[in-house]
Structure 1
Amino acid sequence: MGSQNTPPAPAENISVLRKARRISRAALARQAGLTVSQLSKVETGLRPATPSLIAAVADALGVSTSRIYGQPYADASHQARALDALRAAVRRHDLPREDVLPPAALATKVQKAIGLRAQTRYLDLLDMLPEALGQATAVALSAPGEAGAWAQVADLYGCAYGVAHRMGQADLADMVVSRQMWAAQQTWAPDLEAAAAWNLAGTYQTAGQYDDGLAIVERAISQYERSLRGTANTPAQLISLGSLHLRGVVLASRHRDANATADHVSKAKSMAEQLPTDALVHNLTFGPGNTALYELAAYVELDRPHDAVRMATPLLKAPPPGLRPTRLGRLAIDTARAQLAVRKYEDAEKALAQAFAIAPEMTQTHPMAREVVRVLFVLNQRARPALLDMARRVGLAT
């Protein structure tokens, strides 16, 4: 599997960190609330490391979850330079060096960035973000009180969060979210503040701090509902509030809270029924289709893979309209996880192939996709050419 030239998968990092600390498998299992058999199967490649397990092990080892998730790129030289440029742009958030762009040119650039994020083209997005952030901020600072200009800054920071999160840069994601909130607060727009809160909760989700993330979501929902002074009626309002409930679905299911999960699913469904199709606003996708995808993912996290497979079959055959590659790719990854859990290995491989076809960059770096590939590769599947190709693409084989 992982070698000096290929980045290790999360489960491999667990084994390396445990041995480096001279902790026995039994001791780590006990501290993480796992059985020795569970941990053994994860470390030896017979079972994938789930987000909840990674969070528990990270806490027991006294490391961040990002240490376990690792860096998914085998050759990170170009990405490292581009990430350094993004870090510099985020650091000097109120000292842009770029010129003020004409409004139309800036609007075009912002829409391009949003499109790249939705298409999961993270490397192209990373390359354009430092300059775009500086230009958008220069425009906003040149027009004090102009909410529309600050909205563009906030949306670009939302794109930057997607890049930082997907590339395993937890510290950068934290810094980006603080800048997104700063920009959103200049707009006095509840929708933009909700989008920033959605990403803030995401940083807690990545860190495995699911209870704190849920607290962030509940606070954001309360604040947004107060701003409405009634109920959500417009598409933008439904998307903002519904998206917060979807974030709650993920956090609650990974926190193993079935009741809270069901509550967030129910509220999201109620709002999604008022929309004809899924739509994208401020980098948030919401509607009937995405709500179904989050419900499916919750079944996977709550160890109900048969329910997830039941939902996945019609969704993969006829994907909901309005969903971008970033969401459809995640649907295929969650389907692969569910198929693996019910031991339908060929179906898991097929779902992964769909994920690569729909969203190759996201699938290449997604830790759960890499875990499914790792387990399939170990389970006497090495002779399958398509699987070997996927293992190479995610950096788990040479």
Structure 2
Amino acid sequence: MESTPAPGENIAVLRKARGLGQTKLARLAGISASYLSKIEVGTRPVTPPVVAALAKAMRVPTQRIYGQPFLGPSEQADLLNDLRSAVRRYTLPKEDVPEPAELAADVAKAMQLRAETNYLELLGMLPRLLGQVTATALSSSGEAGAWTQVSDVYGCAYAAAHRMAQPDLADMIVSRQAWAAQQTWNPEAEVAAAWNEAGTYQSAGQYDDGLAIIERAISKYEGAAGNTPASALSLGSLHLRGIVLASRHKDKNATAEHLERAKRFANGLQSDVLRHNLTFGPGNTALYELAAHIELGNPDRATKMSGPLLEDPPTNLSPSRLGRMYIDIARVRLDMKDYSGTEEALEKAFAIAPQMAEVHPMSREVIRVLFVLHQRARPKLMTMAKRTGLVG
């Protein structure tokens, strides 16, 4: 990965280009000038809600602040271009219809790669696989199962585009997933599409609009679903997305409501379930509760929760979920000025989900702050900084 400007540097450049002083921009964004100054010099991480507030104040997309980690020729850029081309010609697949068993195996492999955060291998197979599942569905005379495969593969594509910081591509993929889901007659597929649609608003910092998408999906699905494990997974997953959106929107009441309802559905499941690229159960709900405490500014409660999670991590969660848990724990430990504990949590994130840890905005921010705070002599931190492209 190539070295790119950090969000703090991008904020400073954008601010100066608009003729804004730190005091005025901080006031517009609802943060202190001291906090903004520390973000710009790299001694405090910029969090997603703050990125959203600063982007709104400067009238730029959030991606302008995060930057683009895949500038110029690179393996990632080539793979993303191939995916973009495949998504663009969504009704004109060039691929032939494969054998059903072969196709089912490839779809399962793509979903596994997504769960394991193996984004490069996933990107390598997605263009061809999207063409194959679409060709199969178009030739199946509306068979619902074939369209469910299309929806699931687009769900994998969304995860890759989102993690590779391609919001425009992610938006296009979500529209394709919704198109496929509407032809499945499968409410679970429509829930998965709504989950990702709300995710695009989350990435853009439009948390209230994302919550509206979630509430609409919950209302629609509640009317169609019975009291089954599948309905618990679907509704519970929607409430998990609601937890993130509400906590970043600093709406404590909505956060508590979504959390309470998610826990109610999770209590009916013995363990976490992964279906249609959605993970739901007691373990994942705990991870979302941890993240909510961080977003709502409750580091003490987050620290208290993180201890048991570190000692006994949920064993049935995928690397994508556990990697995010360790990144969240690193973030709260940084808030508590536990720098060695922060580095330890980051190492665990890199061990279990290396490609996620390399590109996740919060992982990169935590590493950047550690690096600036006179931690440069630590060899493991230097290695992580190089892997994220923060140093050459």
> TM-score interval w.r.t. the shorter chain?
over 0.9
Q: Give me the whole-angstrom Cα distance separating, in 2, the residues matched to 1:250 and 1:29.
A: 24
* Cross-structure match for 2:105: 108
2:377 to 379, 383, 387: 383
**Cα–Cα, structure 1 residues 309 and 73, in superposed 2: closer, same or farther, change >3 Å?**
farther
1:280 is paired with a residue whose SS is strand
1:350 to 322, 344, 349: 344
Are 2:127 and 1:133 aligned? Answer: no
* Cross-structure match for 2:265: 271
* Cross-structure match for 2:181: 184
TM-superposed deviation, 1:74 = 6.6
Per-residue Cα deviation, 1:96-115 (whole angstroms, up to 9, x for no partner): 00000111010000000000
Q: Give me the whole-angstrom Cα distance separating, in 1, the residues matched to 2:81 and 2:390.
A: 26
Per-residue Cα deviation, 1:238-259 (whole angstroms, up to 9, x for no partner): 1111000000000000000011
* Cross-structure match for 2:22: 25
Q: Aligned AA for 1:27?
A: K
1:11–1:371 contact (8 Å) kept in structure 2: no
Paired residues for 1:71-86 under 5 Å? 71-73=68-70, 77-86=74-83
Q: Give me the whole-angstrom Cα distance separating, in 2, the residues matched to 1:95 and 1:150.
A: 15
Moved over 4 A (4+): none
1:201–1:217 contact (8 Å) kept in structure 2: yes
Per-residue Cα deviation, 1:170-192 (whole angstroms, up to 9, x for no partner): 00000000000000000111100
* Cross-structure match for 1:394: 388
Identity of aligned residues (%): 63
Paired residues for 1:239-254 under 5 Å? 239-254=233-248
Q: Cα RMSD (Å) of the superposition? A: 1.2
TM-superposed deviation, 1:374 = 0.8
TM-superposed deviation, 1:234 = 2.2
* Cross-structure match for 1:333: 327
1:27 is paired with a residue whose SS is helix
When the two structures are superposed, what TM-score results if normalisation uses the length of structure 2? 0.98
Q: Give me the whole-angstrom Cα distance separating, in 2, the residues matched to 1:12 and 1:117.
A: 31
TM-superposed deviation, 1:381 = 1.0
When the two structures are superposed, what TM-score results if normalisation uses the length of structure 1? 0.96
Q: Give me the whole-angstrom Cα distance separating, in 2, the residues matched to 1:13 and 1:238.
A: 42
Per-residue Cα deviation, 1:84-135 (whole angstroms, up to 9, x for no partner): 1111111111110000011101000000000000000001101100000000
Q: Aligned AA for 1:221?
A: I
* Cross-structure match for 1:286: 280
2:79 is paired with a residue whose SS is helix
Q: Give me the whole-angstrom Cα distance separating, in 2, the residues matched to 1:270 and 1:321.
A: 21
Q: Give me the whole-angstrom Cα distance separating, in 1, the residues matched to 2:54 and 2:311.
A: 36
361-370 or 380-389, larger mean C-alpha shift: 380-389
1:320 is paired with a residue whose SS is coil
* Matched length: 392
Are 2:39 and 1:42 aligned? Answer: yes
**Cα–Cα, structure 1 residues 199 and 76, in superposed 2: closer, same or farther, change >3 Å?**
farther
99-108 or 12-21, larger mean C-alpha shift: 12-21
Q: Give me the whole-angstrom Cα distance separating, in 2, the residues matched to 1:74 and 1:112.
A: 29
2:71–2:77 contact (8 Å) kept in structure 1: no
2:252–2:296 contact (8 Å) kept in structure 1: yes
* Structure possessing the higher relative contact order (Cα contacts under 8 Å, 6 or more residues apart): 1
* Cross-structure match for 1:224: 221
Q: Give me the whole-angstrom Cα distance separating, in 2, the residues matched to 1:269 and 1:184.
A: 27
Q: Aligned AA for 2:30?
A: G
Q: Mind listing any 5+ residue stretches in structure 1 that lack a counterpart?
A: none
Are 2:146 and 1:152 aligned? Answer: no
Q: Aligned AA for 1:268?
A: A
**Cα–Cα, structure 1 residues 76 and 263, in superposed 2: closer, same or farther, change >3 Å?**
farther
Q: Aligned AA for 1:86?
A: L
TM-superposed deviation, 1:22 = 2.9
Q: Aligned AA for 1:16?
A: V
